[in-house]
Amino acid sequence: PSSRHNKWVTAVKAKEIFWVTMLTICGLSACYIGNELWLKFRSMPTQLAVKDTHVPLYEFPFPSITICPAIKVKKTKALEYFSKYISIDNDTIKTELMYIMSALSTMQQPTYFRMAEYVEKSKHLLPLFRDINLTDFMLTTLPTCNELFGRCNWHGEVISCCEAFSLQRTEEGFCYSFNSLTSEAGKHCPLSEVLENEGIVEEDDYMYPGCQLRRNTAVGTVTGLEVFLYKTNMSESLGLGQRDKDGARVMIHTSYQFPNAGDGIWLRSEEGRRLNIMISPVITVTSSRVKDLSVATRGCVFPDERELYIYHVYTQSSCLIQCRMEFILFTCGCHMYFFITPDDGKPMCGIPDLPCINHNTLLELWAVVCGISKVYRVGRERQMLHICSAGHIRMLTPPKGTPGFESRLIRDSLDCSQCIPTCYETTHEIEMESSPDQRTSVWKLFSYLDVAYGNLGSKKYQRDITFAWTDLLGGYIGNKCIYLYALTIDQLTVPQISNCKKKIRRKMIDILTYAYRASTLSGRRLPKAYQSCFGSRVNMNPKPAPMFWKKEFAWSYSTVERLAIAKSKRLGNIFREYARYCTVHGVQYIFKDNSSLIERFDILNIITRRRRRAYYSRCTWLVIVLTSFVCASILVHTMWLKFNSSPTVTAVKDTHLALYSLPFPAVNVCPMDKIKRSVAYKYIADRINVSYQESELDNFLNVLTLFQHPLYSRMLYYLNSGISGFLSQLTTINITDFMLQVLPTCNEVFNACFWIGHSYNCCDLFSLQRSEEGFCYSFNSLTSVKKSECPMFSTLDTDMDITHSNSTNWECILRRNTAAGSTSGLQIFFKQFTKSERLKNASIITGQPAVRVQVFYVNEYPESGMGSIVTAKKGTKLSIMVKPFVTISTDRIKHLPVVERFCYFPDEQHLSVSKSYTQKSCLIECRLNYLHIKCGCRPYYFNMLDNRIPVCNSTQLLCIAQHNSELRFYSPPIGNIRGFLLTEMKSPLNCSQCLPTCHESVFDLDVDYSLDSLPLTRHSYGSVDIFYRNEGAVKYERDVTFGWIDLLVSFGGIAGLFLGFSLLTIIEFVYWGIKFLIYQYNKPSSSNKITPKY
């Protein structure tokens, strides 16, 4: 027996040791994983994710365009101004005054050093102009709006330049800006209006006058802002004494930012020259949850968190401008005239202060100066901003300890560490091209600027917190649940509550023991339910009780039994029984068996104090359960709102997608000379038998040459030149057939072609391509005539399937590439168009011989008016570097309604112009349908669509030209949205049905013109080299934010976290509900109820 006892004791101890060890291991594991979650939260508090790769253009304002004239100081006006203070009859004085003008004209960031020479030569005259207000002087000598701007167009409609442009303060001096809230016309707009315009906050019903920014919906040349400048008046120019000899600088920026001085694009004052700027916006937004983090943690500032005195909306660029201005204020004791200054008693810098400004902005200055500039309030924080600089205001001080900087450079830098990035930011990717333009208006007004969107949508990034507090809480609780099974309500069952329950239970056992003794004496037995509840703790064979117990409990127990039987048939007992077995945490503590038992023995009035404690315990648990239920409901509601507000999410799937997994871009080559004159003369002579003048035929050929979207209006000049009678005689001419016959052949356009370094026959690589620019030649395009019978595709997977299924049909196989770098793609060498075949006035219509090269996706049509011009000059080379961006959508996206995903899959919409749906093809069809409605025909280049719709003949060309402006802009697809005029909202061209494609491919292009010494290039009239810039592409994937399974898991996780709720809980509820209905159906009548007898 002793050995058995020892073995039993040893087994018990081993069991205890095992479970203590397991508990310790699980506890340490939970602590380790919890610590890892906290470290991850601390190391990466915020994350930046792709929100969308195709945000509609109408959702944000058109970029601000600032134009700074090369002439900042007009000589005649300046001399007239100076003559009020000194005599200027002396030529020496005039020369020195010219130096002062040059110093003021070159006083610009970041090239203050240019003024050093002029300040030195005129320093003895500077004190004489102490009383001159420099701001007034610069405004007086600035070219006026009417002197600078010749004409302005918006959406193809003429607008007043002086109403569209207003005075703009910059670090380059005074300029003129369009669509800018930092200009003098928009500076009164409050912060709320600025944030509403940019889409940062929700719009209200009130719009401040002059604060509504213009927006756009169209893409391509002449669809945005067109500006024509007058020729620079060289008699007012300072020549080498100003930054640019003529023209103007163009700067692109966001509406609530100041333009960045020094970043402007030079617009030359030259006849027939066009500067084309294509813009692709990139937007970064930040969720409101990030604002709860400190500025140091999130690393950015919201626009309304700091207020600058130069402008009331915070941006990093504006903060840096103010930092530089405060450096000048500290070193020279005056404010620069560029910006609005605070009321601090400091004067405006004048002409005598030029030496100080020059001295403190030179690179050679070594004396370190430090000063306190401003006290900002950031939320509840107050931050002292210091300026420490050695005068080099072009370099900012890097963080302490940053490698790669010489100590001298750090000493000579400007400390603007308080200027951190903005949480909301819009940047603009720019593609620009300067090319000749033969329009009469361009030749009359010299400089021509065309600013438009380059893509139908913009990229949008969203900054959000890595872990919300709910995510962190869920991670911690989930971690504990895995290892220790510790839930929210279970944490509250502390040992003290257990001890209290044990004491109450012990007292109840004593009472039942006496009750059992009394029942024994009276001949009654204790109900089995009570015996099974307390088990062996109730002494079922006690000693006989005293006689007074028998008498007292004989009546008491009889009453208790009758009441128990009566209560067992009540609804409350069913609910108590449900609560006893309910899996929702905490409910069982509200209706604990002990509490019910106390209630049953209430008539004994023995445990009044214990009953009161039980009542308080129930109330406490009731409050806890209700609180948990409210918290769970709030989080479930938050998850539902997040699901509704952002049903889809775009993530970067791969930053180095193999090039062979997608087709090489399609390339379109359009000759600028589309008509061979001799062939055209012969064609017309063979088909009409009436006499006509050759000038009439020349004008008709000019009209057909200009028959291109979006420049149909250019035909009006020749259509109104008295050829209406001649046009009526040409109605029998099939313009489609005519343009095909007179088009330069493939052999007349191309000299040689190379694909991946191998020589090919150009006519085998290129085929006829229809476009809104007319007939062209394209490579690797499924919309070309040769590949018109090939199946269409959009996704990469489908593309690979089609490649395998059509392996024997080389006409339908799209060419691919694996390499990147120059000469690794497509090389094209051109011939010169025969001069004798050019139209008589071709130099006025199309300029010098050239071709237009466009890069586009294989199942789309080329965008008319876009692309790069390759002039027919020997030795010239155009290099086009391509970086692909691919966006695919998962199958789960397809289950969402179109209004939520805001895109179409290729097989969901059917177009007549293409077998595969794309947004560009849909817009083309929309414009063609509009022309059919207005003019009853379609242009010649899309004659294959519907035989019931005729091709426009010679007399219908005037109708198309008259409706040109309506085709440049289509009404926004939603109702009342700010940024559009009433006439724009009512635009007759409605293409709101043309949504983006769910599978999309776009190309980021870098264009470079150069001279090439290759022998073939020297003997060809222009060449093009198109190749991949990198060895991989960027792939995005669009998916649902929450699928129904994800949503169910999220809801279940929250409910399980706070209440222990699960699907079994629902089944239990159904079960007990059915039980309740059965009880109600079989409910005993009142006559059968047992009534206590007293």
What integer is the mean pLDDT of 727-754? 94
| pLDDT attached to residue 226 | 94
Q: Cβ(224)–Cβ(454) under 8 Å?
A: no
Q: What is the pLDDT of residues 495-516, one digit of tens each?
A: 444 444 455 455 555 554 544 4
Q: Cβ(969)–Cβ(218) under 8 Å?
A: yes
Burial of 22 (0-12, 13-18, 19+ CB in 10 A): exposed
Residue 428: inside a domain, yes or no?
Answer: no
Q: What is the pLDDT of residues 302-339, one digit of tens each?
A: 988 888 889 989 999 999 999 999 999 988 999 999 88
Give CA–CA dist 369/374, Å, rounded: 16
The total number of structural domains in the chain stands at 1
Instruction: List the domain range (segments joined by +) for residue 520.
Output: 496-625+1064-1088
Token pair belonging to 862: 């080329």
- Residue 788 CA, distance from chain mean position: 35
**Among 148, 194, 192, 190, residue whose Cα is nearest residue 167:** 148
Q: Cβ(855)–Cβ(881) under 8 Å?
A: no
Q: Cβ(860)–Cβ(456) under 8 Å?
A: no
| pLDDT attached to residue 543 | 47
Residue 513: inside a domain, yes or no?
Answer: yes
Q: Is the pTM of this model over 0.85?
A: no
Token pair belonging to 25: 């291991």
Long-range contacts of 326-332 (CB under 8 A, 24+ apart): 326/373, 326/374, 326/387, 327/360, 327/387, 327/389, 327/393, 327/414, 328/357, 328/360, 328/361, 329/373, 330/369, 330/371, 330/373, 330/387, 331/356, 331/360, 331/369, 331/391, 332/356, 332/357, 332/360
Residue 527: inside a domain, yes or no?
Answer: yes
Q: Is the pLDDT of residue 556 over 50?
A: no
Q: Cβ(53)–Cβ(457) under 8 Å?
A: yes
**Among 851, 927, 965, 980, residue whose Cα is nearest residue 222:** 965
| pLDDT attached to residue 199 | 64
Residue 621: inside a domain, yes or no?
Answer: yes
Give CA–CA dist 601/293, Å, rounded: 57
Q: What is the pLDDT of residues 993-1027, one digit of tens each?
A: 999 999 989 999 999 989 888 889 889 999 999 99
**Among 163, 136, 174, 194, residue whose Cα is nearest residue 259:** 174
**9 falls in which pLDDT band (50, 70, 90)?**
low
Q: What is the pLDDT of residues 893-906, one digit of tens each?
A: 888 888 888 899 88
Residue 504: inside a domain, yes or no?
Answer: yes
**537 falls in which pLDDT band (50, 70, 90)?**
very low
Token pair belonging to 116: 């050093």
Residue of higher predicted confidence among 1086 and 592: 592
Mean model confidence pLDDT for the chain: 80
Residue 998 in 3-state DSSP? coil
Q: Cβ(1042)–Cβ(1050) under 8 Å?
A: yes
**944 falls in which pLDDT band (50, 70, 90)?**
confident
Give CA–CA dist 626/123, Å, rounded: 81
Residue of higher predicted confidence among 205 and 565: 205
Residue 814: inside a domain, yes or no?
Answer: no
DSSP code, position 333 = S
Residue 613: inside a domain, yes or no?
Answer: yes
Token pair belonging to 872: 């027919």
Helix ranges, 750-854 (H): 762-765, 796-805, 842-845
The angle, 0 to 180 degrees and rounded to 10, between the axes of the packed helices 495-522 and 593-600 is: 40
Percent of the chain with pLDDT over 90: 39
| pLDDT attached to residue 538 | 46
| pLDDT attached to residue 300 | 92
User: How distant, in Å, are the alpha carbons of 584, 869, 982, 1048, 1069 from that of 1063?
Assistant: 11, 66, 55, 10, 10
Residue of higher predicted confidence among 398 and 639: 398
Q: Cβ(916)–Cβ(794) under 8 Å?
A: yes
Residue 41: inside a domain, yes or no?
Answer: no
Token pair belonging to 38: 């906290």
Q: Is the pLDDT of residue 527 over 90?
A: no
| pLDDT attached to residue 307 | 86
Q: Cβ(703)–Cβ(719) under 8 Å?
A: yes
DSSP track, 908-953: TS--SS-SS--HHHHHHHHHHHHHHHHHSSB-GGGTTS-TTSPBP-
| pLDDT attached to residue 564 | 45
